[in-house]
Amino acid sequence: MIRLRRRQQSGEPDGAVLDLPGEPEEELPPGVRPPRANRTIVVVAVTAVASLAAGIGVSNLVISPAQRAAEAAPPEAGLITVPVEERELSTDLTLRGDALYDDPVSVALETTDMGGPAIVTGQVPEVGDLVEAGQVVMEVAGRPVVVLPGELPVYRTLRVGSSGPDVTQLKAALHSLGLNAGNRDSDVFDAATSAAVDALYQQAGYASPVAEEGADEALTAAREGLRMAEEAYAQAQAEVNRAAGGLPRSERLRLDTAVARAERAVQLAAQEGAEAVTQAREELAVVRVEREEALAAPDTSAERSARDAAATAVEDAARALAEARSNAMTPLPAAEVVYVDTLPRRVDSVMVRRGDTVSGEALTISGATLQVLASVSDADATLVPEGTKAYFTVGDEEIEATVTETRTPSARPAGDGEGEGDGGGGGGGARHELVLVPTEITEEQRAQIVGSNVRVTIPLESTGGEVLVVPVAALTAGAGGESRVEVERGEARTEIVVVQTGLTADGYVEVSGEGLTVGDLVVVGR
pLDDT of residue 380: 86
Distance CA 287, CA 252 (A): 12
> CA of 496: how far to CAs of 61, 136, 475, 492, 507, in Å?
49, 78, 11, 13, 21
Distance CA 227, CA 317 (A): 8
1, 19 in Cβ contact below 8 A?
A: yes
Instruction: For 227, list phi and psi in degrees, rounded to 5.
Output: -60, -45
Task: Spell out the domain ranges in the chain.
Answer: 2-59, 110-211+329-359, 369-462, 467-525
Name the superfamily (CATH) of residues 369-462.
Efflux pump adaptor protein, beta barrel domain (2.40.30.170)
From the CB of residue 333, how many other CB atoms can be counted at a distance below 10 Å? 19
pLDDT of residue 9: 47
Same topology, domains 369-462 and 467-525? Answer is: no
The helices-and-strands tally (H runs, E runs) of the chain is: 10, 25
Distance CA 353, CA 348 (A): 15
193, 170 in Cβ contact below 8 A?
A: yes
pLDDT of residue 360: 78
Global confidence as pTM: 0.50
Mean pLDDT by 10 residues, the chain (526 residues): 46 47 51 58 71 65 61 66 91 88 82 80 90 93 93 91 94 95 93 94 92 76 89 89 75 84 84 83 86 74 89 91 81 92 86 89 84 88 89 86 80 43 49 90 83 88 90 91 90 87 91 91 88
Instruction: Determine whether domain 467-525 maps to CATH 3.30.420.40.
Output: no
User: Prior bond to 125 cis, omega within 30?
Assistant: no
